Amino acid sequence: MSADEERRLARVALTWLAEPGTRVVYRLVERLGPVATLDLLLDGGSPDGWLHSTVAARLAGGDARAVAAEALERADRLGARLVTPDDEEWPAQVADLATLRLPDVTRRVDGETAPPLCFWVRGGWPLGEALDRSVAVVGARAATGYGQHVATELGYGLAERDWTVVSGGAFGIDAAAHRGALNAGGLTVAVLACGLDRPYPMGNAALFDRIADTGLLVSEWPPGAEPLRPRFLIRNRVIAAGTVGTVLVEASARSGATQTARRAVYTNRVAMVVPGPVTSAMSVGAHEFLRDNPKTRLVTGVAHVLEEVGRIGADLAPPARGPQRPADTLDDDARSLLEALPRRGARGVDALATRAGLDVRTAMRKLSLLEELSMVVRRDGGYALAAPVTPKRGSATVTAR
């Protein structure tokens, strides 16, 4: 096992020993590196009583390195990959979580908001690039028709302007935001609180498939991990810190979605709230959030959101959606289609599907992805290679290296 592989394995093992976000573990990793931190914890050397018992309890259930190795294999079979700070695609902005301190913390989980040690990712985009120009749209699961309409419009409008729409994959507002982005042919990222092999909720399975197809499914938890209640809260800090801003669409009083917006406020991201009828229970939390957080902006639509995030977006690098990088992550079907395209001129979808050995539905889906990656263009009723692009042969699928 290479030193790199050992470090990756250690990060996975550490995330299994203690939940993501645990401050003391993050600080140890910062100081000692993941391998020495793992050794320390396995030797019973936790500097913290609580962590000591947590680790001991975990270890009673298995060997940390073996569990981690199995998780990596499982991810490989799943077509998912591990992303760590050593990888080029690591989203650097999540490091801001290191200084996040929520006020009035009463639950341990609200205090353990350290940056992630690693991500599991499914989908063709480099994670960091996908999150570079991203906005979170979150809200109530028991959303009203009004809220879902607004979230869909926001998802669509943001995606249309080349912003990645990030949410939690839940019913209601989250799903509506993802769907809006997908309908616009845009990029959407679902940050989950469980293993990528069992995206929760099951009722959104088809949606998760669509997201993985053109966007990303992301989680801090290894394959097999259950969507335990506190994990949603732990996950929320990633949605908040991974994006430029968070839009809260509907939230009942004391809703979990307001916790994401709260984490956005305290990591100095733009927190935005869509108001609603004061007669709607599903807007109570949204209005309270606006009243309680003076820096929060009231937004009524995509124009307002763009106004807010655009200000920050202007300071960012221009959307790094170049043709080279994504090619590294294309799957076999997409590459077959690229090879089936004529060097000059266009070819119809049916002909392309036949040449690539694919059914027409798959071919269309992949062509739409390639089109979004600016690798192909629609022309003369078919598709053609985009002018300056030389498809680059990368690894067929990106796995947990």
Give the β-pairing of 216-219 and 376-379: unpaired
Cβ–Cβ < 8 Å for 132, 163:
no
Q: Is 206 helix (H, G, I), strand (E, B) or coil?
A: helix
Q: Which stretch binds its own copies (CB under 8 A): 35-43, 143-151, 214-222, 239-247?
A: 143-151
Q: Which is nearer to its own copies, 146 or 171 (CB)?
A: 146
Which of 80, 166, 274, 373 is in the footprint of its own copies by CB under 8 A?
274
Is residue 276 a contact residue for its own copies (CB under 8 A)?
Answer: yes
Q: Which of 23, 27, 141, 304 binds its own copies (CB under 8 A)?
A: 304
Cβ neighbour number for residue 322 with a 10 Å cutoff: 12
Residue 68 vs 284, nearer CB to its own copies:
284
Query: In which residue are the tokens 């018992």 written?
Result: 53
Q: Cβ neighbours of residue 116 under 8 Å, at least 6 residues apart? A: 20, 21, 94, 97, 220, 238
Which residue stretch of 180-188, 263-271, 297-305, 331-339 sits at the interface with its own copies (rule: CB under 8 A)?
A: 297-305
- The residues in 83-122 that bind its own copies, with binding defined as CB under 8 A, are none
Contact with its own copies (CB under 8 A): which of 287, 325, 335, 347?
287
User: Can residue 277 be called a binding residue for its own copies (CB under 8 A)?
Assistant: yes
- 10 touches its own copies (CB under 8 A): no
* Interface pick for its own copies out of 149, 198, 321, 355 (rule CB under 8 A): 149
- According to CB under 8 A, which residues from 180 to 239 bind its own copies? none
* Residues in contact with 43: Cβ distance below 8 Å, sequence separation at least 6, in sequence order: none
Interface residue with its own copies among 43, 279, 317, 390 (CB under 8 A) is 279
Tell me the DSSP string of 107-122: SHHHH--PPPS-EEEE
Q: What is the DSSP secondary structure assignment for residue 343, as one 8-state letter?
A: S
Q: With respect to its own copies, which residue has the nearer C-beta, 144 or 329?
A: 144
Question: What one-character DSSP code corresponds to residue 85?
Answer: T
Integer-rounded Cα radius of gyration of the chain:
21
- Minimum distance between the CB of residue 154 and its own copies, rounded to whole angstroms? 10
Q: Which of 117, 127, 104 has the alpha carbon at shortest distance from 19?
A: 117
Query: Which range in 103-111, 145-153, 157-165, 347-355 contacts its own copies by CB under 8 A?
Result: 145-153
Q: Is 146 in the site for its own copies (CB under 8 A)?
A: yes
Distance (Å, whole) CA 233 – CA 220: 12
Binding flag, residue 275, its own copies (CB under 8 A) = yes
Tokens matching residue 182: 């997908």
Residues in contact with 369: Cβ distance below 8 Å, sequence separation at least 6, in sequence order: 124, 213, 214, 334
Q: How far is the CB of 256 from its own copies (least distance, A)?
A: 21
Interacting residue ranges for its own copies, rule: CB under 8 A: 146, 149-150, 274-279, 283-284, 287, 290-291, 294, 297-298, 300-301, 304
